[in-house]
């Protein structure tokens, strides 16, 4: 059959009382619907309405669309729920007739709370175009959205409310005092406003840890500095087209320099922590602790230098001002669509990198793969909550676990490299034994990664397919 309908946004649900006051027969149903397939021209939807289960396939866009609906059962609905490609939609539907036309008012719940729509279905397009809203309903109408694809149920499931308000300037002011707040970025806001807010939250955390490290040389503070610098560089590289290219490249280069200031101290600290757990290397561990303290003073001085402060001040100005001068070609792109596309591109890079790993691959290639996983993790930490289908949650969880394994491999490689340059009073036999222990650990970690490769590749493929529907 052909579905021909018009849709309107209502101010609120007060129209229901008016329907009842006019003795119009109204049926009420609680509805949950989920989507297992969404493309620009097609959708497959499962619906449960007060205990009745249906499956519907729709195709086409605009006023008239082809629709095929049939009954199904609770078991099929439950299975479909596991394979959903978007967030479930929950609403209370009120069905009635006006001048022979089948109508309904939907009051949405959950993430779509506040949205109330009126729909009228018709047997022909002429009837639809000639339809005039009764005055008592027209008084509650904000706008007609029949041709607005954002208000199709499938897109509400994917992107949420189109009219979500967002003030980047105000959000930045709030984050300055409460950087730990969880960001909930509306799907349709421009990418530059969204990324300014994301980067400012990271920048605020970075400043906090820079102050802590300046006064205490605390190792955890330095670790957090490294994380926030890496996160900034990673995300800026991915979202470079959101900003002016020269500006993005300038900060990518300088944030890399800042991060590199901490590398030697981090490697020494990791090696020292490892040696402290080994028998017979207490003396060397003590020497390294002294070296670490000396390096800490050097790193402190570099991070507080005029050059470092100037870079950070310039970055803060750009984030606070949000001038169009610094906006790139994708600065106005809807953030959720761009995030989905960027995440999928990162998945494809990661899949390629993982696929090339084998028993004969050098450790350096494993470390490059670790960086690709880390980039996906940063993206998932910020945007992952907006992609609520099951494959996304599973893949993000697996990727995090795998990244930790890759990190352990990198640490072991650092231990091996530094141990090769050790000149201490320890017997060579003891050093050889420790090297053998590290080699064994490296072999085990590499094997663990290679054994998990088929499953993670399969999980990444599912996630990639799920993300594609958000921007095609």
Same structural domain, 327 and 283: yes
Lowest mean pLDDT among 121-135, 310-324, 381-395, 435-449: 381-395
Asked which of 270, 303, 333 is the last residue of a domain, the reply is 333
339 contacts 385 by C-beta, under 8 angstroms: no
Judging by beta carbons within 10 Å of its beta carbon (0-12, 13-18, 19+), is residue 206 exposed, middle or buried? buried
Mean pLDDT of 151-161: 91
Reduced to 3 states, what is the DSSP secondary structure of residue 121?
strand
**CATH classification of the domain holding 329:** 1.40.20.10
pLDDT at 157 over 70: yes
Same structural domain, 228 and 186: yes
With bands split at pLDDT 50, 70 and 90, how would you rate the model's confidence at 351? very high
Tell me the whole-structure pTM to 2 decimals: 0.88
Same structural domain, 150 and 193: no
Q: What pLDDT sits at residue 64?
A: 67
Convert the pLDDT of each residue in 328-345 to its tens digit: 999 999 999 999 999 999
Same structural domain, 234 and 346: no
Lowest mean pLDDT among 152-156, 192-196, 273-277, 364-368: 273-277
With bands split at pLDDT 50, 70 and 90, how would you rate the model's confidence at 466? confident
Asked which of 144, 159, 174 is the last residue of a domain, the reply is 159
Asked which of 143, 159, 175 is the last residue of a domain, the reply is 159
Mean pLDDT of 303-316: 96
Same structural domain, 134 and 239: no
Q: What pLDDT sits at residue 62?
A: 67
Same structural domain, 202 and 318: yes
Lowest mean pLDDT among 214-223, 225-234, 383-392: 383-392
Q: How many CB atoms lie within 10 A of CB 77?
A: 18
Same structural domain, 322 and 340: no
State how far the Cα of 35 lies from the Cα of 405, in Å rounded to an integer: 35
**CATH classification of the domain holding 80:** 2.40.320.10
Question: How long is the chain?
Answer: 472
The total number of structural domains in the chain stands at 3
pLDDT at 424 over 60: no
Judging by beta carbons within 10 Å of its beta carbon (0-12, 13-18, 19+), is residue 116 exposed, middle or buried? buried
Q: What pLDDT sits at residue 354?
A: 96
Q: What pLDDT sits at residue 431?
A: 83
Same structural domain, 85 and 230: no
Q: How many CB atoms lie within 10 A of CB 155?
A: 18
Same structural domain, 245 and 341: no
Q: Which two tokens stand for residue 98?
A: 């006006």
pLDDT at 1 over 80: no
Same structural domain, 98 and 186: no
Q: How many CB atoms lie within 10 A of CB 147?
A: 11
Percentage of the chain lying above the pLDDT 90 cut: 65
CA 427 to chain centre: 51
With bands split at pLDDT 50, 70 and 90, how would you rate the model's confidence at 425? low
Reduced to 3 states, what is the DSSP secondary structure of residue 9?
strand
The answer for residues whose C-beta is within 8 angstroms of residue 179's C-beta and 6 or more apart is 201, 204, 205, 208
Mean pLDDT of 262-285: 86
Q: What is the residue range of 383's domain?
A: 334-471
Same structural domain, 341 and 394: yes
């Amino acid at each position: 059959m052909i579905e021909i309908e018009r849709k309107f946004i209502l101010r609120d649900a007060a129209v229901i009382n008016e329907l009842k006051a006019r003795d119009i027969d109204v049926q009420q149903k609680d509805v949950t619907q989920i989507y297992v397939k969404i493309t620009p021209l097609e959708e497959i939807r499962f619906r449960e309405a007060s205990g009745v289960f249906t499956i519907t396939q729709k195709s086409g866009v605009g006023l008239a669309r082809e629709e095929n609906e049939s009954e199904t059962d609770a078991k099929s609905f439950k299975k479909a729920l596991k394979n959903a490609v978007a967030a479930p939609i929950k609403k209370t539907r009120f069905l009635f007739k006006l001048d022979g036309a089948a109508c309904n008012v939907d009051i949405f719940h959950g993430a779509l709370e506040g949205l109330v729509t009126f729909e009228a279905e018709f047997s022909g397009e002429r009837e639809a175009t000639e339809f005039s809203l009764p005055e008592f309903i027209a008084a509650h109408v904000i706008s007609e959205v029949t041709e607005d694809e954002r208000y199709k149920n499938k897109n509400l499931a994917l992107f949420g409310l189109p009219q979500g308000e967002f003030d980047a300037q105000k959000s930045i002011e709030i984050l300055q005092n409460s950087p730990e707040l969880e960001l909930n970025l509306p799907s349709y806001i421009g990418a530059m406003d969204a990324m300014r807010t994301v980067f400012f939250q990271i920048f605020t955390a970075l400043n906090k840890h820079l102050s802590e490290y300046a006064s205490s040389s605390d190792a955890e503070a330095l670790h957090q500095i490294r994380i926030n610098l890496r996160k900034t560089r990673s995300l800026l590289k991915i979202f470079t087209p959101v900003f002016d290219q020269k500006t993005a490249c300038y900060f990518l280069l300088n944030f890399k320099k800042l991060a590199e200031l901490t590398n030697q101290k981090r490697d020494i600290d990791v090696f020292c922590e490892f040696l402290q757990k080994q028998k017979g290397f207490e003396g060397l561990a003590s020497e390294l602790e002294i070296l670490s303290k000396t390096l800490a003073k050097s790193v402190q001085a570099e991070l507080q230098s005029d050059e470092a402060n100037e870079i950070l001040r310039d970055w803060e100005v750009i984030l606070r001002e949000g001038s169009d001068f610094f906006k790139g070609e994708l600065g106005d792109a809807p953030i959720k669509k761009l995030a989905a596309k960027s995440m999928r591109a990162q998945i494809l890079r990661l899949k390629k990198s993982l696929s090339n790993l084998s028993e004969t691959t050098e450790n350096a290639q494993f470390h490059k793969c670790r960086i690709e996983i880390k980039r996906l993790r940063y993206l998932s930490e910020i945007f992952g909550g907006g992609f609520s289908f099951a494959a996304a949650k599973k893949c993000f969880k697996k990727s995090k676990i795998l990244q930790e394994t890759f990190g352990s491999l990198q640490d072991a490689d650092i231990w091996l490299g530094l141990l090769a340059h050790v000149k201490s009073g320890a017997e060579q036999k003891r050093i050889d034994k420790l090297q053998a222990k590290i080699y064994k650990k490296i072999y085990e970690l590499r094997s663990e990664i290679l054994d998990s490769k088929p499953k993670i590749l399969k999980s990444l493929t599912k996630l990639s397919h799920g993300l594609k529907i958000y921007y095609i």
